[in-house]
Chains A and B, each alone.
Chain A
């Protein structure tokens, strides 16, 4: 295995982006920041990979328009996934492992505010037996939350604690679209939106874009004193049918954690839990230590741009390696309804002993 590290990260998050659904004009300054962080130009990037979905803002082939922001003459080596950019990062990491390239820039973008996000996401469900009922994502998460409450796996106070910690931490995050802690008591006094979920239990609808730079070996060392070496990267998915899954668990998250040899020693974990109770599921099923610091950025409850929310978790976690806050971190991403698909990306200060 080649040693690959996260060496660059830039992001934008906002409530209502007033630009185009391809976000190309938003990506230009983001790529600019990546060039500045690395000292590179686009010629130094061996591979480009993006994550987005045309359903989000109703613009066909938006990922093709978005590459205007790269500048593609001469042509660049480029790919796309209809998933969170965390999965684009997985593809880019594989590309570097093949030896074909040494560097990659991964990006994602999405303008969720252009439509009704919780409705649009019904299209990711089984098209025969679920989509015709248009079960919105918030309702599905609420069904999941109540299963856990009824079964005694968590309660509304534990969910509110997640929210309070997230929104308190988000006060220090310039990109957060929702911030401001209060108290568990105050949060529980707010009205239900999708019983047992209150609005603050769900990530806010967020527009945005983000980019992550990967580099192998010496290319990484030339950029940073402390590159965030990827020592574990894995993803799994659970089945399509909600009824046959145990929704109080995230089995695919457990499998992903097991595939990287477990998550012992992770000091900081950025978890992509778009609903408060899902963080509780992930902490348990990923097997994180009790003293692991969760989502110091404020996490997805403070801002969750579709198709970059997961990649942002990896970028936020990597930053903690770069700045010396931690020696071992986790970036996690999810996709699909009710934590159906899960990706873990473990990053450390040293690249020896890769668990892959």
Chain B
């Protein structure tokens, strides 16, 4: 058994970005099958155009249409591509200096092996059939001397924004202390740890006591009853919601713990939820248990009298 539990997790978000007048000009050009560069204060023509001049810091204003042919000034072979790159098979990344420009552009060159690319190789743009005004609208191929059919203009007006999806895959590990908590849940137990210095009991246990900065090594088991210390009535629907609103999300101070645990309170009309309410875990059928807090379906009122405020006032 490994020391910690882990699981795959993917974090993804489609960033919607406004592009402004300079990058908008460049991206509009890509959509229309035309590289647009800028002349800088030092006389150099560069693609993509920087928004501000690197020397004078003035906004870029002198735009120049440049050729779709150029020269490889450096290259590397991507032997093991990663997700999102222009090709999912080995390919070349290169610095390509377009004819009429003075600085290179980083982009992909579609060749089958590293033998087919070298510094000094002449390359030509290969435009995507459907273009949106993004750097991914184009790749480079070795220049055979014949231009591909002129790419038709793909849209009208200026490109004012782009969507750049970002998706990252991780192996997410729980700390050893959290792993003990989740393994306990798989056996129907609530495992906490006590700080050797301040004696506070943390559930789930943490890698270190946040008060004292020392490992909370002493393991203790808590009962599955506790007191609602604070709560929120969820009225707003959201993506991925599993329960129909309104419902209650609450902090539950398990008996013997010093830190409240967040969970659902069901089996009670939402207007009757209150601080001090005594609740007990409602476990799912044992055959559904895993190393997860979801083994507890929710908490439900015990029917006992409410807890005195003094019993939980230091845990709010």
Chain A residues near B (Cβ < 8 Å): 18-22, 24-25, 27-28, 31, 42, 55, 57-59, 67-73, 111, 113-116, 118-120, 122-123, 127-136, 139-140, 142-144, 146-147, 150, 192-197, 239-244, 247
Q: Is B94 an interface residue (CB 8 A)?
A: yes
Complex A-B: 11 CB contacts under 8 Å: A18-B3, A19-B175, A28-B214, A133-B93, A133-B135, A135-B85, A143-B95, A192-B77, A242-B106, A244-B50, A244-B54
New A-B pairs, 6, CB < 8 Å, besides A114-B170, A129-B135, A196-B76: A71-B214, A116-B83, A192-B77, A194-B79, A195-B77, A239-B50
| With contact pairs A71-B212, A116-B169, A193-B79 given, residues A130 and B135 touching in the complex (Cβ less than 8 Å) | yes
Q: Is B253 an interface residue (CB 8 A)?
A: no
Q: Is B166 an interface residue (CB 8 A)?
A: yes
The 3 closest A-B pairs by CB, nearest first: A71-B213, A142-B76, A25-B207
What separation, in Å, do the CA atoms of A244 and B169 have in the docked complex? 32
Which residue on chain B has the smallest CB distance to residue A136? Answer: B82
Which residues on B sit within 8 Å (CB–CB) of A69? 207-208, 213
| Contact indicator A143/B54 (Cβ below 8 Å) | no
| With contact pairs A20-B207, A195-B114 given, residues A132 and B23 touching in the complex (Cβ less than 8 Å) | no
CB distance from B291 to the nearest CB of A (A): 15
| Contact indicator B26/A129 (Cβ below 8 Å) | yes
| Contact indicator B106/A130 (Cβ below 8 Å) | yes
Question: How extensive is the interface on chain B, given as a class?
Answer: 35 or more
Which residue on chain B has the smallest CB distance to residue A59? Answer: B172
Within residues 63 to 90 of chain B, which ones have a CB less than 8 A from any CB in chain A?
73-80, 82-86
What separation, in Å, do the CA atoms of A113 and B170 have in the docked complex? 9
Which residue on chain A has the smallest CB distance to residue B6? Answer: A18
What separation, in Å, do the CA atoms of A337 and B256 have in the docked complex? 51
Q: Contacting A129 at CB < 8 Å: which of B23, B166, B215?
A: B23
| Contact indicator B106/A133 (Cβ below 8 Å) | yes
| Contact indicator B173/A18 (Cβ below 8 Å) | yes
Chain B residues near A (Cβ < 8 Å): 2-4, 6, 9, 11, 15, 17, 19, 23, 26-27, 40, 44, 46-48, 50, 54, 73-80, 82-86, 93-95, 103-108, 114, 119, 134-136, 162, 164, 166, 168-178, 206-215
CB distance from A72 to the nearest CB of B (A): 6
| With contact pairs A114-B170, A129-B23 given, residues A68 and B106 touching in the complex (Cβ less than 8 Å) | no
Q: Contacting A147 at CB < 8 Å: which of B74, B83, B170?
A: B74
What separation, in Å, do the CA atoms of A147 and B74 have in the docked complex? 6
| With contact pairs A115-B169, A139-B93 given, residues A134 and B82 touching in the complex (Cβ less than 8 Å) | yes
Which residue on chain B has the smallest CB distance to residue A194? Answer: B76
Which residue on chain B has the smallest CB distance to residue A31? Answer: B213
Q: Contacting A20 at CB < 8 Å: which of B48, B85, B174?
A: B174
| With contact pairs A20-B207, A25-B177 given, residues A192 and B79 touching in the complex (Cβ less than 8 Å) | yes
What separation, in Å, do the CA atoms of A73 and B86 have in the docked complex? 50
Which residues on A sit within 8 Å (CB–CB) of B209? 68, 71
CB distance from B23 to the nearest CB of A (A): 5
| Contact indicator B85/A143 (Cβ below 8 Å) | no
| Contact indicator B135/A28 (Cβ below 8 Å) | no
CB distance from B45 to the nearest CB of A (A): 11
Which residues on B sit within 8 Å (CB–CB) of A139? 76, 78, 93
| Contact indicator B206/A128 (Cβ below 8 Å) | no
What separation, in Å, do the CA atoms of A197 and B76 have in the docked complex? 9
Which residues on B sit within 8 Å (CB–CB) of A136? 78, 82, 85
